[in-house]
Amino acid sequence: MDVTKATTTTVDSPDATTAAPGAMRQIELTPTTADRDPGRYNRRRRMLELTLGIGFPIALLILWQAASVNGWIDRFNYPAPTDIVREFRDTKDEWWEAIKISLGRLIPGYLWGVLFGVLFGVVMGMSRIVRATLEPTLNALYTVPKLALISIFLIVLGFDNKPIIAVISVTVFFFVWIQTQAAVVSISPSYREAARSFGSNRWQMFRHVVLPASLPQIFVGLRVAGGVAVLTLIGAEFVFTPDSKGIGYKINFARTILDPPMAYVGLFIAGLLGIVFTFVIRLLGRIVSPWSRDDRSIG
């Protein structure tokens, strides 16, 4: 059928006053741009989404700049974006060192949390006995404030980077474990039955059924955990840093000396770090599970 031509169909007329019983009326369906030229439509839609995604924060920054410069808001408490850029330019060496140190805490903590979170999630999702044994305890531990564990980790692990890494790992673990277990449990039983009908053992079941079916949802959990890891890093560095360095430490230090531009630089860096971190995880998810549907295509 040629989609470039309008198609028609007939249905029973609902209006009994204007049409005899059993009369038919025609409805004309005009093909849209997406039907006539899908490639062009998708390119234009991606360009529109990219323009909106970039244009909105730029518009906010322009409005912020105008409000600060014209005195609509207090420039001391809400410095203009140009003041924040100037602050970063004047102290960029200190900030690059802080970023390097914070990444040295963030990445190991995230990786350890992901490793154990995926492991526990898969095992507990595949075994009802293991799930019944461990889930109540893990649910209880999940409610414990993670930053409160720093004091315990300081006593157990010492006064270096290990307590911060441990706090990030524990936080990431719970987010990844919950999402991974839910992804494994929600796999359609028909997939498992089909694998059993071919005589698959537990490893083959995991390799060919559980892993491919659950990977898209697992990476959703990894992205959420990536943002939470950055939040936990900043909060942990507020509480303790062994060398008085790091993004969170500098933000907290700016508070103590009443230096809003320094605090805003730290906030912007933390936000950019979270954006880049989650983008890398999203990109890795597309590479590892190309069959998953991109969440941006919904709607």
* Mean pLDDT, range 270-294, rounded to an integer: 87
Cα 198 to Cα 193: distance, rounded to the nearest angstrom? 9
Q: For residue 120, give its domain range.
A: 79-297
152 belongs to a structural domain: yes
Band of residue 39 on the pLDDT scale cut at 50, 70, 90: confident
- pLDDT of 113-163, one tens digit each? 999 999 999 999 988 999 999 999 999 999 888 888 888 999 998 888 999
What does the pLDDT read at residue 25?
A: 64
What does the pLDDT read at residue 41?
A: 74
185 belongs to a structural domain: yes
Cα 168 to Cα 225: distance, rounded to the nearest angstrom? 10
How many domains is the chain built from?
1
31 belongs to a structural domain: no
Burial (CB count <10 Å: 0-12, 13-18, 19+), residue 243: exposed
91 belongs to a structural domain: yes
Tokens standing for 81? 């974006």
The CATH number for 111's domain is 1.10.3720.10
Share of the chain above pLDDT 70, in %: 86
38 belongs to a structural domain: no
